[in-house]
Amino acid sequence: MIDFGFGLSRSSAVRLDEVDLSLYKRLEELEPQVRTCIGCGSCSATCTAGPWSGMSIRKVILNLQRGRDIEKMLSNCMLCGKCTMVCPRGINTRHLILSLCRIYEKK
Amino acid sequence: MIYEGKQKIWSDYQKEIPDDHWYFVRSCIRQNFFPASERMFTEITRNVLGKDVHETPYHTTCGGIAYHCDTIPHETVMTIVARQFSLMTEAGYENYAASCITSFGNYTEVLETWHEYPELEARIRENLWKACRREFNKPKYLAHSSDLIYKWRNEIAARARHLLIDRHTGEPLRIVEHIGCHYSKMFPSKGVGGAEYPYVLCGMIESWGGQVVDYPERRHCCGYGFRQYHVQANRGYSVSNTHKKFESMEPYRPDAIITNCPGCPYFLDRWQYVIAEQTGKTYGRNGFGIPVLTYEELAGLVLGYNPWDLGLQLHQVAVEPLLDKMGVEFDPDAKYAGLNKEDLLRPGLPVNMKCF
């Protein structure tokens, strides 16, 4: 092996055929509005809890679409609702978080 | 959705491309990376398709690399671009075609800025006059050179000698298309198909008989990203991006990749060697890599040009498996012969990736 002075990180390539999307599909049933999310990140930018807790709704939705666990991130939300006020697609993100909490409770 | 409404939305994704009379500017880096590509563009458009494509040796860089590396301000870039437009005006053209994706993004950004802030355009006109006593008209149409090949793809298909069909199986070749980020991610309405459905390379692949490969990381950056590579400490990030793309496309077993950006073919090609030397993994079949071509090189192959005249010997990943599938005749001994037929000697070969 040649040492180039730099290395590779582990690939974060997403294989949608191999991941479990059941959580996202249940969220889509409860909150069809989630389909209109454009991932702009306005919600995360305005999140009070975000800078110190790692909470990001954009990441929550993205991780769900990629079949990844979001429970830890979810527990950091304070449900203040500022994200709902800035969403350019009019998604009720606060309600979306509550629905996700319900999904996790049933799980 | 109502059909008329759908048609209206789709029309926003289309781009008007005039059929002839283009003023063409070259890229700073393409001629070093893949030197025959721009040569083939002028050869195909002028001599094969009979179009009027004018260029001048007096044009310079558009300033895009320095701008995206944060070394010159936008006002300087705008003045450089204004000088380029003045050369077009002087030559009597109204349609401006750039060979480089970043230049295309740069020209689009400058024109949009002037549209939003006319007072800035007036200041740049003054700067240009003070600097070199030049004046300019803005181009009526701005295109990337891949837009033109896309426009004329069916004319090329009508003259094709080799289609993108595997001669052993009769199946269409599976081609990955990779669009440069500055083509339509910055100004979606300026590219064919916008940012969501970029069709500029898909159109060529389909017209020439191939099959477009769709894979999860299709729209991910090639990894070049200017500072990702130019700052030496960031190169691990650059190659990791490329690695992510290859890991994602691997299960779809592509036969080749085509791109329309100067940086993308270079990094998708060269990083395959680095990944192979670091991990021992190759992404093509039988220990080879996946050949990465520019759209002009592919158009040249389709039209029956000699692969060594297209500069395919300058690729790191061996292109011979693709040539074999397409049924392109080539002389393996002439691969490293110069124009005067003198042997230019063989380069060192990689350890973990098969090459000729």
Choose from A47-56, B217-226, B285-294 the range with maximum mean pLDDT: B285-294
**Rounded to 5°, angle at Cα A88 from A86 and A89:** 125
Please report which confidence band the pLDDT of residue A73 belongs to, taking 50, 70 and 90 as the band edges. confident
Please report which confidence band the pLDDT of residue B1 belongs to, taking 50, 70 and 90 as the band edges. low
In order of start, what are the domains of chain A with their CATH numbers? 19-106 (1.10.1060.10)
Within an 8 Å CB–CB cutoff, is residue B278 touching chain A? yes
CA distance B247 to chain A (A): 6
Write out residues 244-263 of B within 8 Å (CB-CB) of A: 244-245, 247-248, 251
Number of other CB atoms surrounding residue B348 within 10 Å: 6
Within an 8 Å CB–CB cutoff, is residue B236 touching chain A? yes
Please report which confidence band the pLDDT of residue B225 belongs to, taking 50, 70 and 90 as the band edges. confident
Query: What pTM was computed for the model?
Result: 0.86
Within an 8 Å CB–CB cutoff, is residue A16 touching chain B? yes
Q: Are B97 and B119 in contact (CB under 8 A)?
A: no
Give the whole-angstrom CA distance, residue B352 versus residue B350: 6
pLDDT at A107 over 70: no
Q: In Å, what is the CA distance from B87 to each residue of A41, A73, B25, B79?
A: 42, 56, 10, 13
Q: Which residues of B57-75 are buried (b: 16+ CB within 10 A; e: fewer)?
A: eebebbbbbbbbeeeeeee
Structure tokens at B27: 């890229």
Structure tokens at B258: 């085509």
Contact A7 B248 (CB under 8 A): no
Search chain B and give the residue with CA nearest A6. B236
pLDDT at B25 over 80: yes
pLDDT in the model for residue B194: 85
One-letter amino acid of B4: E
Give the whole-angstrom CA distance, residue B323 versus residue A103: 54
pLDDT at A21 over 80: yes
pLDDT of B131-151, one tens digit each?
A: 999 999 999 999 999 999 999
Nearest by CB to B217, which of A1, A8, A13? Answer: A13
pLDDT in the model for residue B58: 95
Contact A6 B217 (CB under 8 A): no
More confident residue, B201 or B70: B201
pLDDT in the model for residue A54: 85
Percent of chain B, pLDDT > 70?
100
Please report residues of A whose CB lies closer than 8 A to that of B237: 9
Contact A15 B275 (CB under 8 A): no
